[in-house]
Structure 1
């Protein structure tokens, strides 16, 4: 999938203020407020900015964190990871590999088989249900 690059003005025109704040500026939604944290429907989660597939409901689980959590992305290469030292912490930031949208963070306290918890902002996602 080809990478997408747009100007700041283009992203601002296409996204809501909240989508822009989180996906383009690296913000975070409040826990337990996102549209998808408790969604149980079958389907796929896509990047709100570029539509790239990122996660599937089959790998989604209830982490109790208040954000949609997944133990694996939809495919290798769908996301990229960056070292994040903001807010006095060392974390691993997760971004869309196609358009560089901020999605959330990944932690090493998830369930088998990966032991990973991709903790993702609902605002950075668009859900497409099966059928």
Structure 2
């Protein structure tokens, strides 16, 4: 049953992000750009290099956090928050490069909003102790 609750939470988070991006597109008149799922849509070569540096750093931090969580008493909430910051750092890097070097700088609004929304949702999950409620 807790797996179903976790799946519903995950679907709700995706829905919140999708609805907020839809609203922002309408409010700021931002064109929808077709992107392939799980592809690397880099703005330029500098963006590609910075994005890969962020990904390699994220992998290193994930391994350190996994070690800390497995072998030491590490707070799951702190782990969740750090992982969210790492994931959203990719959004913020994308937003910067979209703003500075893209032909459509308004796209950066969507990347920034997605990062901020994800951080806000995770902070709310931590504050209201949702994970404990899900897995009781």
Specify the TM-score bucket, using the shorter chain as the normaliser. Answer: under 0.3
**More helix as a share of residues:** 2
**More strand as a share of residues:** 1
Q: TM-score, normalised by structure 1?
A: 0.24
Q: TM-score, normalised by structure 2?
A: 0.24
